[in-house]
Structure 1
Amino acid sequence: MSKPSSPAGRIGGSLRAASDTLRTQLWPLPAFAVLVAIGLGVWLPMVDASVGDDLPEPVSNLLIGGGPDAARAILEATAGSLITATSLTFSLTVVTLQLASSQFSPRLLRTFTGDRVVHATLALFLGTFAYALTVLRTVRSGYDNEEPFVPHLAVTLAFLLAIASIIGLVFFLAHLAREIRAETIMRKVHGETAATISRVFPDQRGSPGPVLPIAPDSAVFVGAARSGFLTGIDEERLLNAAVKHQAIVRVDSSVGSSLVKGIPTAVGWVRSGAPRMDDEALEEFLKDVSSTFTTGFERTAVQDVAFGFRQLIDVAAKALSPGINDPTTAIHVLGHTSALLCDLTQRELGTRVLRDDDGQVRVILHRPDFATLLNLTLDQPVLYGSSDPAVIDRILSLLQEVAWTADKEDKPAVREQLHRVASAVQQESHPPAVTSHLRRRAGEVERALEGVWSPRASVTSSHTEPPAAS
């Protein structure tokens, strides 16, 4: 049960979506840096010309001296070296994107293209290159009866930018080596997903579920305006549309789901006692509702909680594939997803309701519940990792951790997953000691569901075991 969001919240949501779009593009910051550099390259030589030889001696001693030939050499060397460094930076970035796509998941490319260090490095290199070229055109050698001119201030700044670019290249290489590590990738996705959880599920658990109205036979379907992924819903505009037409809107597609143009994604009907809409009003209602949905051809983390889990589990699935065979990475992924799931057990999940100023239900939004996210987290690791005792052991640890924090409403989903894990283990031919250990771990999950915490068993511990989970 939720109150309608404020206009400030609506603007904030729109700004977050626009910010996320710009953040994951490589070109905005470098393009801005080039424009600033060109402007600086035009303005600073004008300052040089107006100041002339009137600079104080201590300042003049700090500037790069020499004649036009020396200034040209510095500027040409700066421009030439920086375009080479820019090519290297782009090449390394492309290689990193290829590695992330093949080694981890194609869904992680947004993480790398949104890296601020990459943006800043490219902006520094391209800005320095553009600045050096712009200043170079102002240097005059004094031939053909023209007056010699050397913009000492501008040339000194070009030298300083070249030194900064060298330092920036070193930091970029060190940063890139750290960013392609699996631990760094998982930490960034974890942080982004935790922030999305806080935005999408801000309410703590405890409030009773709302009584939802049922759509009558006269309800009309609202088709998707375009195909793609549902990346966002403007809740304020959707609520206003429902109030304007004295209707109730139920959105059946959650953020992150795939839409096909014309296929119903929501349903709407006139509230009891309100006049029926004529054909013109109905057409306007359908247009108003469909315009509140934002679609794109890739999922984003702005409102899509499941997308963060999808990214993490993709890494685990890749790690468990025979071609990579890296169960340790999969175990680390399960640690991150366990922390996120434990956070979700404390929040109000599932259907979200928006009410008008009179407290009447106007909008019903479908959101993933705990069981959906738990199944998304464990289905593939259980399928691909059931033959690895270490992976199954970490899955059982995850279930024990989640069972300890879960509300009674969520415990059936945990118990269902425990039964799936037990069934998968029974189909594998593990050594007796390993099977005994996993049965003990399953018993610890059962006790956690009953509110009893048990120390986690190790493979070398006693093989006395409680009855296995059925």
Structure 2
Amino acid sequence: MKKLLFFWNELKASFWFIPVLLIFFSIALSVGMVYVDSLIQIDQKGILRFFFVQNLDSARSILTTISGAMIGVAGTVFSVTLVALTLASSQFGPRLIKNFMYIRLNQVVLGAYISTYLYCLLVLNSIKDQQDYTFIPSLAILMAILATVVNIILLIVFIHQIAISIQADKVVSDISDFIAIQVKTLFPEKMGNEPDNPEALDIKKILVSYPKTFLIESPKSGYLQYADSENLMGIISQEDLVLELNNRPGSYLVEGKELGKIYSKEELKENTLRKIHDQFVIGKTKTAQQDLEYSIHQMVEIAARALSPGVNDPYTAISCIDNLSSTLSYLADVKFPSQYRFDQDQNLRIIADTLDFEGVMDAAFNQIRQFSIGSPAVIIRLMEALITIHFFAKRKPQQEVIVKHAEMILRMSRETIKEKNDLNDLEERAAKILNEKKE
């Protein structure tokens, strides 16, 4: 079920899905409105005569005008969207394009104009002028006029949204919001139960009772996008196996590369191996659904581009650091899942390749630190971010990782910052972390 949810989320991110749905809706609506018009005889007297079309020429003229205008504006909307995607790609990086495709308004606006155009064509085709029969779908034409009014409002909202969506602060804020939702979904990760005392586990002793080993090879080259943890645990438990995973979502796999190992007490059935293979999704691109590092790298890429000599925009880089510090402050006090996952009977079933706090910190700050050489303001803000994260870190391993990053920033700064006052400012901030270490 979760695998279907993964494909559903990926489908919603495509730029064609919502427009296609709206096109099918417009076809159904046109048929339905024409059918209602054929059943109802509207008395066009009084104020109603100002809203309903009463002659064939007017009906054809209105529908032709609307359909022509809608397809013209649809082309304009498509062009504006492509320009926005081009600007976003050059300014923030090509990996950010998918984030813009996720924006539902862009999909709805494009679909609304195309579907209105198609609706008008279908209603126009239903108008009949014969010797013994005349049919004017007045209600359907009124619906086309109302749809046009809505589309005009949508165009205004769309232009406003495009103008906002390519602003650096808005892009960074949207990614940060997505990461905040993602970390609360992924931590703690749900894949079976955790051991009470993982340090006391004797893994070799457990695996001795599973003498047969089978390799799980990648069926094709690409990125591991998704692993259905619940179904995987169910299959492994039912077949009394132990699965050791050597990769996690976001890892690149070459066809035939070892994805993991299965430890079994007897020969493994081909059907069982196939079912285990089916719980993994491998694709050509990375996705953010189970890969926290991918979302963090998007933010890092914006900061790295902002710090490049051709752009030289330290304020955008500082904004990225501020938003990353919020995410890492949350993760600093979160219990990361153990790599050892047990079933309900407390039997070891999965040895996972898990993400730890040090890996997240490295993904977030290593490249920004490396690109920040020559920008004291960014380096100082990096240290201030570490101070904030250190405040929320209650566990010693997390604190040691933060201290390590503070020491790396300090060593780099002593070699690159020439201004003594800037270096003193940095050392004063670093002392808030490093002095606590000495104590």
DSSP-derived class of the 1:246 partner: coil
Structure 1: where are the runs of 5+ without partners? Answer: 1-10, 452-470
DSSP-derived class of the 2:215 partner: strand
> Residue in 2 aligned with 1:14?
3
Question: Is 1:34–1:126's contact at 8 Å kept on the other side of the alignment?
Answer: yes
> Residue in 1 aligned with 2:220?
226
> Residue in 1 aligned with 2:26?
37
Match of 1:24 among 7, 13, 23: 13
The alpha-carbon deviation at position 331 of structure 1 amounts to: 0.4
DSSP-derived class of the 1:168 partner: helix
Question: Is 2:216–2:261's contact at 8 Å kept on the other side of the alignment?
Answer: yes
Question: Is 2:195–2:340's contact at 8 Å kept on the other side of the alignment?
Answer: no
Match of 1:421 among 409, 416, 424: 409
> Residue in 2 aligned with 1:111?
99
**Deviation digits for residues 38-89 of structure 1 (CA, Å, limit 9, x no counterpart):** 2221221222222124x47467345233411111111001000000110111
Question: Is 1:353–1:365's contact at 8 Å kept on the other side of the alignment?
Answer: yes
User: In structure 2, do the counterparts of structure 1 residues 212 and 319 end up closer, same or farther at CA, with 3 Å as the change threshold?
Assistant: farther
Mapped partners of 1:184, 1:108: distance in 2? 13
DSSP-derived class of the 2:188 partner: coil
Question: Is 1:403–1:448's contact at 8 Å kept on the other side of the alignment?
Answer: no
The alpha-carbon deviation at position 283 of structure 1 amounts to: 4.4
User: In structure 2, do the counterparts of structure 1 residues 15 and 241 end up closer, same or farther at CA, with 3 Å as the change threshold?
Assistant: closer
> Residue in 1 aligned with 2:169?
183
The alpha-carbon deviation at position 219 of structure 1 amounts to: 3.5
The alpha-carbon deviation at position 218 of structure 1 amounts to: 5.7
Amino acid at match of 2:389: V
1:23-422 map, 5 Å? 23-53=12-42, 55=43, 57=45, 60-61=48-49, 63-142=51-130, 145-202=131-188, 208-209=197-198, 211=201, 213-214=203-204, 219-270=213-264, 275-277=265-267, 281=268, 283-406=270-393, 407-422=395-410
Mapped partners of 2:110, 2:133: distance in 1? 37
Question: Is 1:403–1:449's contact at 8 Å kept on the other side of the alignment?
Answer: no
Question: Is 2:189–2:337's contact at 8 Å kept on the other side of the alignment?
Answer: no
Mapped partners of 2:436, 2:19: distance in 1? 53
**Deviation digits for residues 11-41 of structure 1 (CA, Å, limit 9, x no counterpart):** 3x33431232122111111111111112221
The alpha-carbon deviation at position 135 of structure 1 amounts to: 0.6
The alpha-carbon deviation at position 341 of structure 1 amounts to: 0.5
Amino acid at match of 1:238: L
Mapped partners of 2:293, 2:153: distance in 1? 39
**Deviation digits for residues 276-298 of structure 1 (CA, Å, limit 9, x no counterpart):** 32xxx264554333222111111
The alpha-carbon deviation at position 315 of structure 1 amounts to: 0.7
**Deviation digits for residues 167-225 of structure 1 (CA, Å, limit 9, x no counterpart):** 11111000111111111111221121122211211379997546362366964332112
**Deviation digits for residues 360-400 of structure 1 (CA, Å, limit 9, x no counterpart):** 11012111100011011111111110210110011001111
Question: Is 1:350–1:366's contact at 8 Å kept on the other side of the alignment?
Answer: no
CA RMSD of aligned residues (A): 2.3
Mapped partners of 1:414, 1:243: distance in 2? 38
Give the count of matched residue pairs. Answer: 430
**Deviation digits for residues 74-124 of structure 1 (CA, Å, limit 9, x no counterpart):** 100100000011011111111111111111022211111111111111121
User: In structure 2, do the counterparts of structure 1 residues 357 and 79 end up closer, same or farther at CA, with 3 Å as the change threshold?
Assistant: same
Identity within the alignment, %: 25
Mapped partners of 2:388, 2:224: distance in 1? 32
DSSP-derived class of the 1:433 partner: helix
Deviation larger for 59-68 or 97-106: 59-68
Amino acid at match of 1:243: S
Question: Is 2:44–2:52's contact at 8 Å kept on the other side of the alignment?
Answer: no
DSSP-derived class of the 2:290 partner: coil
TM-score (norm 1): 0.86
Mapped partners of 2:274, 2:67: distance in 1? 53
Question: Is 1:125–1:165's contact at 8 Å kept on the other side of the alignment?
Answer: yes
Looking at secondary structure, tell me which structure has more helix per residue: 2
DSSP-derived class of the 1:220 partner: strand
Amino acid at match of 2:364: T
Mapped partners of 2:232, 2:27: distance in 1? 45
DSSP-derived class of the 1:410 partner: helix
> Residue in 2 aligned with 1:446?
434
Mapped partners of 2:426, 2:294: distance in 1? 30
Mapped partners of 1:292, 1:14: distance in 2? 7
Mapped partners of 1:36, 1:345: distance in 2? 48
The alpha-carbon deviation at position 232 of structure 1 amounts to: 1.0
Deviation larger for 237-246 or 108-117: 237-246
Amino acid at match of 1:117: L
Mapped partners of 1:397, 1:213: distance in 2? 41
Question: Is 1:316–1:330's contact at 8 Å kept on the other side of the alignment?
Answer: yes
User: In structure 2, do the counterparts of structure 1 residues 416 and 350 end up closer, same or farther at CA, with 3 Å as the change threshold?
Assistant: farther
The alpha-carbon deviation at position 429 of structure 1 amounts to: 4.1
Mapped partners of 1:448, 1:177: distance in 2? 46
TM-score (norm 2): 0.92
